[in-house]
Amino acid sequence: MKKKFFQPYIFPVALVLVAGLAGSCKKLIGIPPSPPSQLAESQQFADSSTALTAISYAYSYVAFSVSGFGYSDPKIPETTGLSSDELFYNSNNDPDMTGFYGYNLTNLNGDVNNLWTEPYTSLYNVNAVIAGVGNNTALSNSFRAQATGEMQVMRAFYYFNLVNLFGGVPLVTSTDYKINAILPRTSVDSVYGQILADLTSAKQKLTMTYPSSGHIRPNQLVATALLARVYLYRQQWQQAYDAANAVIASGQYSLVSDPNKVFLDGSSEAIWQLPTKTSYYEVADARDFSSQYGAAPYYPVTPFLLNAFEPGDLRMKDWLGQFVSGGNTLHYPYKYKNVQSSAPTVEDIMLLRLAEQYLIRAEASAELGNGLAALADLNIVRARAGLPASTADASSQSAVLNAVMHERRVELFTEWGHRWYDLKRTGQAGTVLSAEKTGWTADAALYPIPMGQLQSNINLKQNHGY
């Protein structure tokens, strides 16, 4: 019997993709109509048409996952928002979620398990494409370069989140599930080394032009923008500055003047965004964060985040919704507004956008000792929010850095874990979170390795404190 494509054996978790999923997402890359749900191994990369169909599986899993990019409920914005100081849990539907807010997670937490298994399932698909197009003489050099570059960007994005959630993780770059199932954890430095290698290689392979309509499939600037973020996290300030500067100076993107339109399909600010519309909703963030059917929101924002907004900040007005009951008001994330798929406007889930690049360049400038340049970038973002220029003293590096971190907090809240990651990478998590909430310990900075993974792979070692 011939092996089928995209059997997601991961540590050793097996998930089955829904038949016809790729066909539902064909607009992502213009694949042939009604492709089969599986392809025999010998047919996977016979030509560019079947190769595109194979690639579509990776994107299909991304788009039709509940939260986008292969992370099902709970999503990174929810879990990291609870772990940081952005959200609190206002429901009894999922007791496991309370563990993120109160720092009492265990290795039996089902939501933590999803955060581990979902990306590894997607990584199997990504690695299968990279292997399939690698030295395939049936495909043109340009096609192989494009396909490989796209998948390298996706792999880097997955590992960036895994390493920030769990620390060192098994580094899977092949589809040999027998080997992958017993891989030990790789050091944080090694994981970041793979991320940088993938993005550097992708940047060389991809062109400045997006290979399809919209900003769905990565181009060279998507790789560069993600590189800017990774360099920032690795404290490689000049490289972070140069990468962010390249994206900004390209002229391909511009800040959207109306905050309400930032997350719409075709946004001029979008560097990388994916359509996730289903017959029930457009972007899961709108459905999960909003107040629906008269019920209180499950994930209200904390007073800590609410109080971080300055008077007159348009982001508070446009990106926070309100639920009023019994004289009490709860605010909730409202960046994505289309709860129903029938909404007159179309929203796409945002993975990378220009405002972050300005803030990356600002932070890198501050670290390099150029406070004036840092504040210039900071004020571009503030101006879009309807705020005056920052009053931070340009000659004080600490004052400028504090201003940048404040702006990241109110600009990027509940987007892909930025606040949680920022607190940890800057060493502020303990100071900030122990003052705001109870239960914080240094061990809470990383989530536990799920028990099922430890039981199936004796080479995995648990994070300290679990």
322 forms beta bridges with: 331
The number of residues in the chain equals 466
Phi and psi of 87, rounded to 5°? -130, 160
pLDDT tens by residue, 382-414: 999 999 999 999 999 999 999 999 999 999 999
What is the dihedral angle through the alpha carbons of 444, 447, 450, 456, rounded to the nearest 10 degrees? -110
- Structure confidence at residue 52 (pLDDT): 80
Q: Which two tokens stand for residue 94?
A: 């999922």
| DSSP secondary structure letter of residue 465 | T
pLDDT, tens digit (0-9, with 9 covering 90-100), for 28-85: 344 344 434 444 555 678 788 878 877 777 766 554 454 445 555 558 999 999 999 9
Question: CA of 445: how far to CAs of 28, 104, 305, in Å?
Answer: 36, 12, 19
CA distance 312 to 329: 19
pTM: 0.90
Compute and round to an integer the Cα radius of gyration of the chain: 22
Positive or negative torsion for Cα 178, 179, 184, 190: negative
Task: Encode burial over 318-331: b for 16+ CB neighbours within 10 A, e otherwise.
Answer: bbbbebeeeeeebb
- pLDDT (tens digit, 9 = 90+) per residue, 296-355? 999 999 999 999 999 999 999 999 999 998 889 999 999 999 988 888 899 999 999 999
* Residue 238 near residue 196, CB atoms below 8 Å: no
Kind plus residue range of the DSSP H or E element containing 153: helix 141-166
Torsion of CA 131, 133, 137, 143, to 10 degrees: -160
Would you state the pLDDT for residue 115? 92
pLDDT at res. 273: 92
pLDDT for position 287: 86
In angstroms, how far apart are the furthest CA atoms of the chain?
69
Domain boundaries, the chain: 280-341
- Phi, psi (rounded to 5 degrees) for 4: -95, 155
How confident is the model over 408-429, as a mean pLDDT? Answer: 97
Interval 9-41: pLDDT, tens: 333 332 222 223 333 333 334 434 443 444 455
- Helix 141-166, helix 76-83: angle, nearest 10: 30
Helices 188-205, 220-233: inter-axial angle, 10-degree rounding:
160
